[in-house]
Amino acid sequence: MKKSVFAAAAMLGAFALVATGCAGGAAPGAGGNGGGGGDDVIKVGFAQTGSESGWRAANTESMKKAFSAENGFELIFNAADNKQEAQISAVRNFINQGVDAIVIAPITVDGWDDVLKEAKDAGIPVILEDRTVSASEDLYASWVGLDFEQEGRTAGEWVKENFDGKGANLVVLEGTTGSSAALDRATGFNEAIDGTDINVLDSQTGDFTRDGGKKVMEGYLQKYGKDINVLFAHNDDMGLGALDAIKAAGLTPGKDIQIVTIDAVKDGMTALANGEFNFIVECNPLLGDKAAELVKAVVAGDEVEKRTIVEDQSFTQEQAAEVLDSRPY
């Protein structure tokens, strides 16, 4: 009798050991944290650029809301303060933690090949959000963002319509050097004003920050003074910084120097409605829901589009005044 009891206990112990072994040891990126199955939580690492602008703040809020626990995610968030080496280090930390997926808003286009290959070798899918990279497309699953080149083209078309034939002098505040947003917006804008008599006096980076825009604009005003007729800023925050410099120089923004920007965040739209800006091209920061949708799909093993472009609008002063109170960012 005792032998039968001991044998049964041994068999139960062995079964428990096997069951424990089957439950653990899942590979990173293969649902080791429950990704892709039923009501399991999907563990996601998000490498943000930093907090350089109002647009970025709205983008971060959108991402955190979409990748919430209520929506079935565990989010590990890292903002790299616009330092690419810090951002790449964060991605490597995500890989080491065995997340189910990684989302990156790349600071610059180059330098991503090695770490993206590391993620791929670990079986962890990568979604690019907002900006793009120069790495091979087989190293990431998908990208969701805006058509930066078209944004620049739309801004340039407005400048062409309003200043071609007048011999206008233009200065440019560029975004972060090497970023896809800055590169593409410059390309689109330059294409639009090509063949006009608009004279580009200078073009320098303000690094997408308000302080950077102010400092560069101060330099422009010291060098060119009242010869400047129009300013194109790659984002609202640099344009808002330029407002302070223009006012300090005793000039009236929107009149003495007309201002065209990209983003359409609340502060920029307020400046446009007040007549201090003259035209804004939207860059929609609310990409969280689409990014989360893509992550769920790739973790589940579904096929997804390689590129998803979110539509933008553009605004005159009158249009900005009409929609300002209803804008979500």
CATH for 85: 3.40.50.2300
Determine which helix (DSSP H) or strand (DSSP E) holds 199, and give its type and residue range.
strand 199-205
Number of domains in the chain: 2
Kindly report the backbone phi and psi dihedral angles of residue 158, in degrees, each rounded to the nearest multiple of 5, phi listed first: -65, -45
The answer as to whether 4 is a domain residue is no
DSSP 173: E
| Cα–Cα distance, 309 to 307 (Å, whole number) | 6
The strand pair at 42-48 and 101-104 is best described as parallel
**pLDDT tens by residue, the chain, 329 residues:** 333 333 333 433 433 333 333 323 333 444 433 334 446 999 999 999 999 898 999 999 999 999 999 999 999 999 999 999 999 999 999 999 999 999 999 999 999 999 999 999 999 999 999 999 999 999 999 999 999 999 999 999 999 999 999 999 999 999 999 999 999 999 999 999 999 999 999 999 999 999 999 999 999 999 999 999 999 999 999 999 999 999 999 999 999 999 999 999 999 999 999 999 999 999 999 999 999 999 999 999 999 999 999 989 999 999 999 999 998 88
Structural domain of 208: 148-283
Query: Are 222 and 293 contained in the same domain?
Result: no
The answer as to whether 103 is a domain residue is yes
Instruction: Tell me the β-bridge partners of 308.
Output: 144
The answer as to whether 32 is a domain residue is no
Query: Are 128 and 176 contained in the same domain?
Result: no
**Rounded to the nearest 10 degrees, what angle do helices 210-224 and 236-248 cross at?**
40
Alpha helices in the chain (DSSP H): 2-23, 54-66, 84-96, 113-121, 148-163, 180-193, 210-224, 236-248, 266-273, 288-299, 317-323
pTM of the predicted model over 0.75? yes
Q: Give me 209's structure tokens.
A: 């920050």
